[in-house]
Structure formats: structure tokens, C-alpha cells
Chain A
Amino acid sequence: MTSSVSSSLREYARGVAGGLMFSLPLLYTMEVWWAGFVAEPMRLVVYIATVFLLLLGYNHYAGLHHDHCWSEVMIDSVEEMGLGLLLAAAMLFLLGQIELDHNAYEIVGKITIEAMTIAIGISIGTSQLGGGEKETKAAAEASAQKEKTFTGQAVIAMCGAVLFAANVAPTEEIIMIATQSHIAKLVGIALLSVALTAMILYYIEFTGSRRLARRNGVLSVIVGTVISYAVALVVSALMLWFLGRFDEPSLLTIVSQVVVLGLAATLGASAGRLLLQ
């Protein structure tokens, strides 16, 4: 059924609120603005493509329109990315970060890099902040069924990881911690990440965690934890690569940064995932 204009307007407004909620820290961070024009154009293209895939995945597995087909998921994702670009441009202008006399690459780079997390925020805001006017019980159950699949969990975990890790990934602090900490402390951070992941997913009865823990057993706890942390590490590595933090030669520094960022990412991949779906 075609929804009324006022209800779709409300849906967009929800998305805008969600987008700002999740990405305001990034809009207020100067390292992110700089990353926008320091990054090579091809990296930004890869970033846009990756985020678009994530949006497709999230909208398919947890999106608002549970009765969707793929073309509808595609349309939703395009809309979210477009709104993200508009919102990023408006916010950066208000924050004084884009001026008309800046060159085009600087403006487009800043907007693009900010818009991608806003787009994920919009996607999550639209589907999570809603009052569920249209949602029927059957549709909710159908989506819950779909979320339980392995790919569904992995996609939502990735979105959670990106959303959490994005807030700290561009800061100087990551490289500072990575290069200044003793190696034993870095191992400590990794162990803490694993422990937190297992605890959030299977022990502390976080909202929604029961759905996952149904098939309990030591093996499934280990497998689930390992997968979550692996997703977090992959997301961390991708973000750091995108921000140009892998351009240096030392493998130890690279791995250290991934571990340091991995703690934030794994919180998103476990706790974030349970909240997002």
C-alpha cells in the first residue's frame, strides 16, 4: 500500500534524527574533516561502495519495510545515502567547515566522509526509532526469523561495529595508544575485547541476547564470540586503511592500531548489534 505523504515525511524525520544522533561526534571532530581531503579520491569511492553494501544488508535484514523486495531495499538505501549527503552538507556549512571559496575537492571530500556514517545512522534511526505504525506482528516475526541467519547477524554486527568504531577511528589517540603502549597491554586490550564480547552476547542478559543464546553450549559461545571479534577486527582494519593509517611500514604499529580500535568495534559488534536489530 502506498503510504501517505505525512507518514513518509515523519519517517524521513526519524531518519534525520537518528542520523544526527549517531554521527554528531564525527561532525564535531576535526580529524574527520581533514581525512575528507587528505584521502585519495579512489579511497572515497571504495568507502561509498562499502557503506552502500552495508546499507543494503542492514535494510534487508533489519529494515523498516519487512514486506520488501530487493528493489525496495535498493531504493531505501539510495535515499538514506542521499539524505546523508544533504545532511552532512547542511551540518558542515553550519559548523563553518565548508566555505564557498574552498576548492571543490575539499568540499566534496568533507561531505562524503561525514555523510557515510550519517547514512548508516539514518538507516538505523528509520528502523529503530519508529513507533511501528505499519508493523504487524507477523512481519516482525518474519524479520526476526531472517535476522537469525548467520549472514544477517554478521551484517548487523558490522553495522554496529562501524557505528561505534567510527567515533574514535579518525582520532590521533588511536595511533598514540598503539605506539606508546607496552605490547603486554595491547594483549590485555585484546583479551578484554574478547571477554567483553562473550559477556555481552551470552552472560549479562542484554536486551535481545536471549535470541542468540538459545542454542547454548560452550562451543556455540566460543564460535559466536570469535566471529563477533573477527568482524570487529575486520571493520577496524578497513576503517584504518581508509584513513591512511596503514601507509606506514611497521606491521607491529598496524596490528596494534587494529587491536586498539577493535575494542570499540567489538562493543559495537556485540552490544550494538543486540540494540540495533
Chain B
Amino acid sequence: MKQKINKNWLEWTVFGVSAALIALVLGFLIFESATIGDALPDIHVLTGTPEARTSYFAVPLEVTNKGDQTAEGVHIEVVLRSGGKEERADLEIAFLPRRGAREAWVTFKTDPRQGTLEARVLGYEKP
């Protein structure tokens, strides 16, 4: 039962766009699966310039995962050493995708601009 397909221009447009989208997504996923390795999560924390807020100081963090696997529950600690005193701040990021990045902030009572900041990853788990 061979039939001629009757479609108007709108239907052909939707079909064309859909086909292109599917091809794009499939192409991207296949490319990713071919290039991705199984490197374990490799997490880097970069501290930015501290900013004064109303009643505390905020330090922006850029957390990147250079590994090929996603990390869950990424626990990060930032230590501020200033004038012989130590202040600690920590935060947890629920999910850090493979090769992904997240922005975060930690806050301090003492002014971090007067001291040194040290950030490190305390731990994370496999999702």
C-alpha cells in the first residue's frame, strides 16, 4: 500500500528541524562517548577576589571538575590565615558534572583581603 505523502510546508519545516535536532544530539553524544575517558574526578578550586558584604566578606569560588566522571557531594573547605589566626569556611556542592564547573561563595567574618586563602577539596562520592 504505497501512498503519496501529503504534508504542508509547516509539517515539512517541523520535520526538517526535528530531524536536524535529533541528528545533532545523536552526533554529539556519539562524539562524546568516543572521546570521553574514565579519568576519575579531578577537582580544582580557584578562589577569586574577596568582596565586602553588609556583615561579612564573601569569597567567590570557581570549582571545576577536569575528570571524565561526575562527582557527587563535593565538600570544599577554605582556610583563611590572617594575623596568626585561622578561620575556616566550608560548603558542599551536590553534583559536579564531568568536565563541568560550578560557581560558589564562602563567607568569613575577618577581612580575607588582609590574609592568605587556602582552598581544598575534602571529599566527594561516586553518584
Contact = CB atoms under 8 A, between A and B. Distances in A.
A71 B94 CA distance: 45
B19 interface: yes
Interface residues of A, number: 40
B25 A75 contact: no
Interface string B62-79: 000000001000000000
Nearest to B19: A78
Contacts of A86: 17, 21
B22 A34 contact: no
Closest 9 CB pairs of A and B: A82-B18, A41-B33, A2-B6, A37-B97, A41-B32, A41-B29, A42-B33, A106-B97, A38-B127
B18 A81 contact: yes
B28 interface: yes
Contacts of A204: none
Interface string A30-42: 0000100110111
Interface of B: 1-3, 5-11, 14-15, 17-22, 25-26, 28-30, 32-33, 36, 70, 94-95, 97-101, 127
B21 A37 contact: no
| A-side interface mostly | helix
A71 B5 CA distance: 8
Contacts of A277: none
Interface string A243-271: 01000000000000000000000000000
Interface of A: 1-5, 8-9, 12, 34, 37-38, 40-42, 44-45, 48, 67, 69, 71-72, 75, 78-83, 85-86, 101-106, 108, 111-112, 244
Nearest to A83: B18
Nearest to A36: B97
Contacts of A42: 29, 33
Contacts of A41: 29-30, 32-33, 36
B10 to A, nearest CB: 5
Contact of B95 (A8, A34, A45): A34
